[in-house]
Amino acid sequence: MEFPDDLKYSREHEWVLVEGDIATIGISAFAEDQLGDVVFVELPAPGDTVSKDDAMGVVESVKAVSDVYAPISGKVTEVNDDLPDNTELVNDDPYGDGWMVKVEISDPAELDDLMDSEEYQRFVAEADG
């Protein structure tokens, strides 16, 4: 299971890629593996404002329903329109084509609450215990 070094991770298993003031967000390989085959994805709309730690979307696998939480606050600038009709992308390529939303970061200080790859791997190892 991979946890790319250039990403930051939340305790709710979202990943964040920061490029300037834009954050791209998806769910981690651990999250998609735990869920199993994803069959439904619901995302916020461009222009929506999301708040750190609030539910901003839903992923459903065959067996489970899971909220997707905003790992940071900001305004949604773009969503992955391919995802609702190609939900398998979340499993096949969680850090690539399975990305979910791009958010204009409103408070960069919130990024400090996220884990780096190494910290997240330790967090997951404990959660999976």
Q: Between residues 91 and 117, which has the closer beta carbon with respect to other proteins?
A: 91
Nearest approach in angstroms of CB 8 to other proteins is 28
Identity of the amino acid at 103: V
Cα 108 versus chain centre, distance: 17
User: Which residue, 64 or 125, is less far from other proteins as judged by CB?
Assistant: 64
Q: How many CA atoms lie within 13 A of 125 on its CB side?
A: 8
**Shortest CB 60 distance to other proteins, Å:** 5
- Shortest Cβ 69–other proteins spacing (Å): 15
Contact 83, 98 (CB under 8 A): yes
**Which residues contribute to the site for other proteins (CB under 8 A)?**
36-37, 39-40, 42, 58, 60, 62-63, 65, 91
Q: 35 near 64, Cβ under 8 Å?
A: yes
